[in-house]
Amino acid sequence: MSFSFTSIPQYHQQLQSGATTCAAAVEYFLLQIKANMHLNALVAVFEQEARKQAEMLDASLAAGNALLPLHGVVIAVKDVICIKDQPVSAASNMLKGFRSLYTATAVQRLLDAGAIIIGTCNCDEFAMGSSNENSAYGPALNADDTTKVPGGSSGGSAVAVQAGLCMLSLGSDTGGSVRQPADFCGVVGLKPGYGRISRSGLIAYGSSFDCIGAFGKNVSDVALVFETMAGHDPFDATSGTQPVQHFSTKANDDTKYRFAYFESTLTLPGLDPEIRSAFEALMEKLRSDGHTVEAVPFDLLDFIVPTYYVLTTAEATSNLSRYDGVRYGHRSAIETADLTEFYKHNRSEGFGAEVKRRIMLGNFVLSSGFYDAYFTKAQQVRQLLCSQTATVFSSYNALLMPVSPTTAFTAGSHSTDPIAMYLADIYTVFANLTGIPGMAIPLFQHTNGMPFGLQVMTNQWDELTLHRICYYLESRFAKDAV
């Protein structure tokens, strides 16, 4: 029985007509995973579990039961999201061999809706990185050009969708870790608003920034997965209680939107000229379609990345202090009677270089004498950002921005310059600092052969407008874009 996948509705139509089965879908993707092992996108594959789940779903359909919302949809999950009895390591030697004792709420909701989890995806260690080169499993490779990085930290999740190793995948986004790899790999990537999807079962990096997001081939599929995962969870006190509105492509009407953009984001010295030209051309097309596209003042661009790294490294320092080799985590074979030395050996051996760098940065900004100068000041800038964002959305439906200053860069080219790596996040960290939802959609092709797209952001709790706008942009511009 042959199999192909373009969208969830198309797949469900095939299931109902008998043209394919969930079992056939699972076998297809297992073969694709084996054929693309060189991409290093997945770090664990759940063959037996996926086959068993497919058989149960096929039997349910054969018995006359209705299709579940995600019936047989094959999904891969980033290696920072817990699944009971399955390995979860955050791509770190610190947690190598550890198996989760419970399932993340977001994943459980997918399973309840009929999804099949086929495996876990490679990522930067503890979700800290923008290239997927900081992994204990080695780097994931961009399927369009294996000399290029797939982006990070959810690089493996992006490649899994890009290379057709699953239908959709989950990632986590603390400062762009879904949207940037989506941009580098030419797929759709959603970061929901903070609190929209439960963080229960997500290994913490920056607790006031972390969001579980999704990758897919199209906006509609990503919207359906989002709706399934979203909603309040008693296991996460930061999850919102606002009702989740359901997106429908039928709801896409002739609404004329009001788009804003920051002029300063287009005058950044490091912005690729082709990315700027494509962005400006798209804005002109939007105006031609009757939409309003206006520049709004924004003078905090230079403060975004420093603010983000001060706050996230401070939170990471706190969150990663639990990995001491006593309760769980790597324990060194070096014997010592001194407790401090014991901790040093465990953490020095268990953590990689980038994680250690951020722990040290976090300890510095939280230290006596520097707390007010760095951490308090960063919190004040964050509040200013939130205030300015509220002002923008009082007059506009959405904010448009590039996703990254460049297309996917060559592997190893930024490894000796962490500052250059950090500055690559300049367009994505804004949404995490302000807690608003954002989506990267692939619209363009660079002359260097690599894809790139557009980032759309809307007001907090307004993912419905985000999905509708992105669906419109995808259907209107994806094929004829510059």
Q: CA 397 to CA 391: how far, in whole Å?
A: 11
Burial class (CB in 10 A: 0-12, 13-18, 19+), 349: middle
Q: CA 477 to CA 473: how far, in whole Å?
A: 6
Burial class (CB in 10 A: 0-12, 13-18, 19+), 413: middle
What number of other Cβ atoms are within 10 A of residue 270's Cβ? 11
Please pick, among 154, 157, 169, 177, the residue that the annotation labels catalytic. 177
CA dihedral 436, 442, 447, 448 (to 10 degrees): 80
Can you spell out the DSSP letters for 129-164? -SSS-S-TT-----SS-TTB---SSSHHHHHHHHTT
Q: CA 135 to CA 115: how far, in whole Å?
A: 27
Q: CA 453 to CA 179: how far, in whole Å?
A: 10
78 labelled catalytic: yes
Q: CA 205 to CA 39: how far, in whole Å?
A: 25
Q: CA 295 to CA 55: how far, in whole Å?
A: 54
Give Rg (Cα) of the chain.
Answer: 22
Q: Where are the strands (E) in 280-349, listed by range?
A: 292-296
Do residues 94 and 330 make contact, with C-beta atoms less than 8 angstroms apart?
yes
How does strand 168-173 pair with strand 188-191? unpaired
Please pick, among 89, 135, 153, 239, the residue that the annotation labels catalytic. 153
356 labelled catalytic: no
Contacts for 35 with CB less than 8 Å, ≥ 6 apart: none
- Cα torsion angle, 209, 210, 215, 219, sign: negative
Q: What is the DSSP letter of 175?
A: S
Please pick, among 78, 148, 191, 217, the residue that the annotation labels catalytic. 78
The token pair at 68 is 């579940």
* Residue 47: strand, helix, or coil: helix
Q: What is the DSSP letter of 435?
A: T
395 labelled catalytic: no
Residues annotated catalytic, as ranges: 78, 153, 177
